[in-house]
Amino acid sequence: MDQVRGREHFHVDVHHDGKRTITAHCEIADRPSVMRDSTYSIDEDWNPKDCFVRLSVDDDFMGSGCFGFGAALARCDT
């Protein structure tokens, strides 16, 4: 209680055509420690385009996923 247990740093890039890319680095300091890195892109109408996520627990790689979105399609590779 009343102490920092983790942190998240993120950045949003806004492109000239209105599309956005968000990158985030998240850490949970409690044991087991967790680290997540993600990159997420949306179009000018805020529709999802793609996303990549990588997860580590106690410095061990747990997995990653890549998502892609189209008008009538959602794809996931994990």
**pLDDT tens by residue, 20-63:** 999 999 999 888 999 999 999 999 999 999 999 999 999 999 99
Task: Detail the DSSP E strand segments found in 15-46.
Answer: 20-28, 34-42
1 falls in which pLDDT band (50, 70, 90)? confident
2 falls in which pLDDT band (50, 70, 90)? confident
- For 77, residues 6+ apart whose C-beta sits below 8 A from its C-beta are 65, 66
Token pair in block for residue 64:
């990653």
Question: Which amino acid belongs to residue 1?
Answer: M
18 falls in which pLDDT band (50, 70, 90)? very high
Tell which residue, 14, 12, 13, 35, has the closest CA to residue 25. Answer: 35
DSSP β-ladder status, 20-28 and 60-69: unpaired
Place of tokens 């106690």: 58
Give pTM, 2 decimals: 0.81
